[in-house]
Amino acid sequence: MNIEANIKSLKIWKNDISIEAIDGGLTNQNFLVTDGEKKYFARIGKDIEEHLIYRTNEISASKAASLAGIAPKLIFAGEGIIIFEYIKSTTYNSELVIQNLDKIIKLIKNIHVEIPNFISGDPPLFWVFHVVKNYINFLKNNNSSYVNLLNELLDKSYELNKLASPYDIVFCHNDFLPANFIENNSKIWVVDWEYAGFNTPLFDLGGLASNNNFTNEQEIYLLENYNQNKVNDAYLAKYFAIKCASLLRETMWSMVSEITSKIDFDYKEYTNENLSKFNEEFNKLKS
């Protein structure tokens, strides 16, 4: 059964539906479904083991985020498919993230504090240093062109882990790209929960900053308003170590995608861009 037939076969529809593809997904396929006067967002994706993407975890996180009022209302979830209420919205870019930073800081705090109240069953976990080791093993086993870099990157990962520990643990989104924030009638929603899981809050904060090219002043503003207090040098050292680790994870995500992805996207350029950012941030830590 093809994707459209699979969507049409769901028992939730009240009318004959129309289905329109939505561009943009790198690890999933998205569709706009019209059922009479109502519209829905269909998200289709299989497990992607090399990226530790498991759709049962995504469904668990999406349900919790929906119940917490942070993600759009979840209508249906089944094997490889999630249906959300469609929200006509503005998709954020980095400029809009920075313009609405105060709202986003409150939203991140809500994700970290409120979503665990709605998680049931096995708790999804995202641990960046395990992800990095998993990527390194995959790259070695699949004859990556970056194999000569991997031992050095693993050593740097160990060093970052030591610098950043011990950890506070909260529930995180773990993928704060600007396009994962959407706005409707001044309310900001968060979408795409496939990497969500328990993690250090510094990963979300560092990812937000690096994915949206924050200045140093904007980073300090982010951290002090998130913590509602001035931040000391020890906290900043841990933050910058995790921010660096988030850049390493993004770099290795792209290295793996160069091998596995069939999407028309310049992963090699993305790898080089993120590797450069990682090396710059790591060298700052050592200076």
Structure tokens at 100: 């609405």
What single-letter amino acid sits at 192?
D
Same domain, yes or no: 234 and 171: yes
**Percent of residues, the chain, with pLDDT higher than 70:** 99
Task: Examine the fold and report which residue of 72, 88, 104 is the final residue of a domain before the chain moves on.
Answer: 88
Per-residue pLDDT tens over the stretch 32-72: 999 999 999 999 888 899 999 999 999 999 999 999 999 99
Give the integer Cα–Cα distance in Å for 13 and 34.
9
Q: Domain limits at 15?
A: 3-88
Same domain, yes or no: 170 and 271: yes
**Is the predicted pLDDT of residue 24 greater than 80, yes or no?**
no
Compute the average pLDDT of residues 108-117. 96
Same domain, yes or no: 184 and 197: yes
What integer best gives the mean pLDDT of the chain? 93
**Is the predicted pLDDT of residue 145 greater than 90, yes or no?**
yes
Same domain, yes or no: 125 and 227: yes
The tally of CA atoms less than 13 A away on the side-chain side of residue 97 is 24
Per-residue pLDDT tens over the stretch 153-191: 999 999 999 999 999 999 999 999 999 999 999 899 999
Same domain, yes or no: 204 and 127: yes
What are the DSSP calls for the chain, one per residue? --HHHHHHT-TT-SS-EEEEEES--SSSEEEEEEETTEEEEEEE---BGGGTB-HHHHHHHHHHHHHTTSSPPEEEEETTEEEEE----EEP-HHHHHHTHHHHHHHHHHHHHHGGGG--SSPPB--HHHHHHHHHHHHHHTT-TTHHHHHHHHHHHHHHHHHH-S---EEE-----GGGEEEETTEEEE---TT-EEE-HHHHHHHHHHHTT--HHHHHHHHHHHHTS---HHHHHHHHHHHHHHHHHHHHHHHHHHHH--SS--HHHHHHHHHHHHHHHHHHHH-
Per-residue pLDDT tens over the stretch 236-266: 999 999 999 999 999 999 999 999 988 888 9
Same domain, yes or no: 78 and 186: no
Same domain, yes or no: 207 and 187: yes
Q: Which pLDDT score, from 0 to 100, does residue 1 have?
A: 57
Same domain, yes or no: 69 and 134: no
Q: Which pLDDT score, from 0 to 100, does residue 120 have?
A: 85
Number of domains in the chain: 2
Same domain, yes or no: 134 and 9: no
Per-residue pLDDT tens over the stretch 190-244: 999 999 999 999 999 999 999 999 999 999 999 999 999 999 999 999 999 999 9
Same domain, yes or no: 185 and 229: yes
**Is the predicted pLDDT of residue 80 greater than 90, yes or no?**
no
Compute the average pLDDT of residues 138-150. 96
Q: Which pLDDT score, from 0 to 100, does residue 26 have?
A: 67
Same domain, yes or no: 129 and 176: yes
Same domain, yes or no: 280 and 184: yes
